[in-house]
């Protein structure tokens, strides 16, 4: 099966590079979640061989809003690389993406290596800073439709991220208002409580996942906690902002 894994990884990597969608793979050749993570790892290796650097991880489907929107109900995770970072307040070139969507998130910057499963009480001590953020997701599958296995293989639709101002306010993240605006209009509203009841739980989950996979996430890594609301489709010219009460705003212009 491993040559099949490599060819799926190559097809997904090419789809992302060329910004051309591909059909789902699990329909023709079913594969397990474990295999999906192996395919994901192979596709990230391809990126790293081209010189991209891992800068952290993201969690997906940590909120009900996202599970309902995409019809998937398990927490998933994927890698972030330096190439995915878009400038806060800057222009995002939409041609790089296939059918991008934006979703409001919280981003953590880790203070120490995450090398074991953490409790909720410990997790706060592993955070250097926290920021409002926008994830730009872009499924490599046609019509942005996928099974759980397909989306995991596709690095959980990771494509871009915009990180807003860093803040040391890591103690009171439980229930902060979240507002995403598109062209000044309120498009999505929610609360950080939508993220697993408390966004720090994303960090706890991340530490458990990393421990089971034997991966150490080095200090200074980013952890995207998952969207607090459903995602919004992006169109050329859109100005998108995500405000998290008490933390500030991340924003970009879709060029
Ligand atoms: C999968 C990624 C989900 C989140 O924040 O829940 C995700 C997708 O919706 O394409 O990033
Ligand atoms: Mg997300």
Give yes or no for residue 48 having a pLDDT over 90: yes
The pLDDT score that the predictor gives to residue 171 is: 86
The pLDDT score that the predictor gives to residue 1 is: 57
In Å, what is the CA distance from 99 to each residue of 5, 180, 205, 233? 25, 19, 29, 8
Q: Which residue has the tokens 């859109």?
A: 238
Which residue's alpha carbon is nearest to atom 8 within ligand 1?
A: 157
Judge whether 56 and 222 are in contact, CB under 8 Å: yes
CA-based R_g, the chain, Å = 17
Q: Please list every protein residue whose CB sits less than 6 Å from any atom of ligand 1.
A: 60-62, 66, 70, 103, 135, 137, 139, 151, 156-157, 226-227
Buried b (16+ CB within 10 A) or exposed e, 213-243: eeeebeeebbbbbbbbbbbbebeeebebbbb
C-alpha 146 – ligand 1 centre gap (Å): 11
Q: Which CATH number fits domain 3-254: 3.10.290.10, 3.30.110.40, 3.90.850.10, 3.30.365.10?
A: 3.90.850.10
pTM comes to 0.97
C-alpha 142 – ligand 2 centre gap (Å): 19
Average pLDDT over residues 97-118: 98
Helix boundaries (H) for 96-195: 120-123, 148-153
Nearest atom in ligand 1 to 63's CA = 6
Cβ count within 10 A of residue 32: 12
pLDDT tens track for 58-107: 999 999 999 999 999 899 999 999 999 999 999 999 999 999 999 999 99
In Å, what is the CA distance from 237 to each residue of 98, 101, 152, 194, 240? 16, 14, 30, 29, 10
Judge whether 111 and 183 are in contact, CB under 8 Å: no
pLDDT tens track for 120-174: 999 999 999 999 999 999 999 999 999 999 999 999 999 999 999 999 998 899 9
The pLDDT score that the predictor gives to residue 128 is: 98
Give yes or no for residue 215 having a pLDDT over 60: yes
Bridge-partner residues for 86, per DSSP? 162
Nearest atom in ligand 1 to 137's CA = 10
Nearest atom in ligand 1 to 58's CA = 11
Average pLDDT over residues 189-203: 97
């Amino acid at each position: 099966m491993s040559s099949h894994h490599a060819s799926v990884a190559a097809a997904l990597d090419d789809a992302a590079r060329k910004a051309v969608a591909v059909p789902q793979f699990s329909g023709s050749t079913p594969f397990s979640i474990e295999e999906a993570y192996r395919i994901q790892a192979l596709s990230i290796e391809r990126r790293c061989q081209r010189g991209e650097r891992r800068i952290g991880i993201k969690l997906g489907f940590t909120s009900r809003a996202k599970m309902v929107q995409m019809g998937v109900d398990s927490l998933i995770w994927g890698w972030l690389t330096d190439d995915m970072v878009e400038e806060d307040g800057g222009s995002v070139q939409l041609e790089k993406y296939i059918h991008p969507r934006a979703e409001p998130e919280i981003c953590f910057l880790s203070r120490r290596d995450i090398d074991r499963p953490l409790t909720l009480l410990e997790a706060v001590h592993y955070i250097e800073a926290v920021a409002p953020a926008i994830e730009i997701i872009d499924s490599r599958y046609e019509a942005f439709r996928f099974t759980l296995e397909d989306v995991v293989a596709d690095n959980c639709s990771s494509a871009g991220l915009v990180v807003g101002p860093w803040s040391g306010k890591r103690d009171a993240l439980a229930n902060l208002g979240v507002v995403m605006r598109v062209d000044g209009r309120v498009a999505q509203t929610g609360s950080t409580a939508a993220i697993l009841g408390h966004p720090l739980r994303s960090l706890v989950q991340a530490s458990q996942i990393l421990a089971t996979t034997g991966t150490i996430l080095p200090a200074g890594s980013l952890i995207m906690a998952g969207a607090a609301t459903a995602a919004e489709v992006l169109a050329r010219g859109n100005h998108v902002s995500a405000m998290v009460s008490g933390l500030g705003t991340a924003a970009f212009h879709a060029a």
